[in-house]
Amino acid sequence: MTAYAITLGLLFGSFLNVVTYRVPRGLSIVRPGSHCTNCGTPIRAYDNVPIISWLVLRGRARCCKARISVRYPLVELMSGLFGWAVLRCIVLALPAETPWWRALGLFSIHLALGLGLLAAALIDISHMILPNTITVGGTLLGLLTVPLRPGIGWLDALVGAAVGFLMVWLPFDLLHRLLRGRPGMGLGDAKLVMLAGAWFGWVGAVTVFMAGAVQGTIGAVVILLVQGRIDEPEAVTEERRKLVAAIEAAEGDERRELEEELARDPVGSKPESGWRKSRMAFGPFLVLALIEYQLFGEAIVNGYLEFVGWQ
């Protein structure tokens, strides 16, 4: 079972690399098959083995010797470990009388959730976008799988999703727009906390949001201490430059539409100087908190309730 879980994690991790490379670039994830992103040569199966091929090729493509980022084997490693963690923390924690099909179903949906979240975090780090396919798709998966998952009912999941979304949308989007004229957080963050609620109820949504905020603050302090400043990702600067150029070239209605799009975008203006105005993706920290809650949540919440004497 351990070998199966890790292998499945590794294979999905390999696929995840394809997804995070192609989706933000608007390319198909099925066609063409794996090819070198530098020279276009198709990659042979034996050069496409998760982690091992990267080590054997010592981080360089066989075709043109272009450097292959260490990010690829790292993502595969994380996915393999995640497959193992889902088995240990979720599947093996089920009561012994759980039928095999239910255990397999739970393994599959939790692996899909964790890897989808990992993809969202990677895309958010480089593009400051959380794709709807993952945030809304993950929310739907959470709602649809309620009958399969122990300890949660339809009402818990629906209330959780609503609380999660409103908790971020009301103060950080609506209120912020009224006061400052621009949203303080992307809607993607609100949809990610909505996902947390659909999977883990309102307690899960609140815990994930708090834990994400705490870890995000620690992360920002660490980056400031190491780098002295927080830079926005290059791709974000580039995408804004393109949109501004398109506005300059457009006229009339089209121009107005593009200007509105820019004004709605939380990263639509150049970041102001000074660390208090720094711009950082919050998604990866929410994802971290979500995965922590997914694997250890029940234990943490019950431990806390016991500690304060509620149970």
For Zn ion, the binding residues (CB under 5 A) are 36, 38-39, 41, 61, 63-64
- Residue 39 or 218: the one with the smaller Cβ distance to Zn ion is 39
Which residue from 239, 133, 232, 109 is spatially nearest to 192, judged by alpha carbons?
133
CB of 109 to Zn ion, least distance (A): 37
- Residue 18 or 243: the one with the smaller Cβ distance to Zn ion is 18
- Residue 36 or 300: the one with the smaller Cβ distance to Zn ion is 36
**Token digits for 101?**
């099909």
- Residue 205 buriedness (CB in 10 A; 0-12 / 13-18 / 19+): buried
**Token digits for 180?**
């400052």
b/e for 20-45, b at 16 or more Cβ within 10 A?
A: bbebbeeeeeeeeeeebeeeeeebee
b/e for 105-125, b at 16 or more Cβ within 10 A?
A: ebbebbbbbbbbbbbbbbbbb
Pairwise CA distance, residues 280 & 223, whole Å: 10
CB of 38 to Zn ion, least distance (A): 4
- Residue 57 or 210: the one with the smaller Cβ distance to Zn ion is 57
- Residue 47 or 189: the one with the smaller Cβ distance to Zn ion is 47
CB of 22 to Zn ion, least distance (A): 17
Pairwise CA distance, residues 268 & 56, whole Å: 43
Which residue from 58, 199, 83 is spatially nearest to 137, judged by alpha carbons?
199
List CB contacts of 170: < 8 A, sequence separation 6 or more.
none
CB of 36 to Zn ion, least distance (A): 3
- Residue 65 or 270: the one with the smaller Cβ distance to Zn ion is 65
CB of 65 to Zn ion, least distance (A): 8
- Residue 56 or 64: the one with the smaller Cβ distance to Zn ion is 64
CB of 47 to Zn ion, least distance (A): 11
In the complex, which residue's CB is closest to Zn ion?
36
CB of 100 to Zn ion, least distance (A): 44
CB of 123 to Zn ion, least distance (A): 24
**Token digits for 130?**
């959380």
- Residue 64 or 155: the one with the smaller Cβ distance to Zn ion is 64
Contact (CB, 8 A) for 210 and 168: no
Alpha helices in the chain (DSSP H): 2-22, 52-56, 71-86, 100-127, 132-144, 154-168, 176-180, 187-227, 234-249, 252-264, 283-307
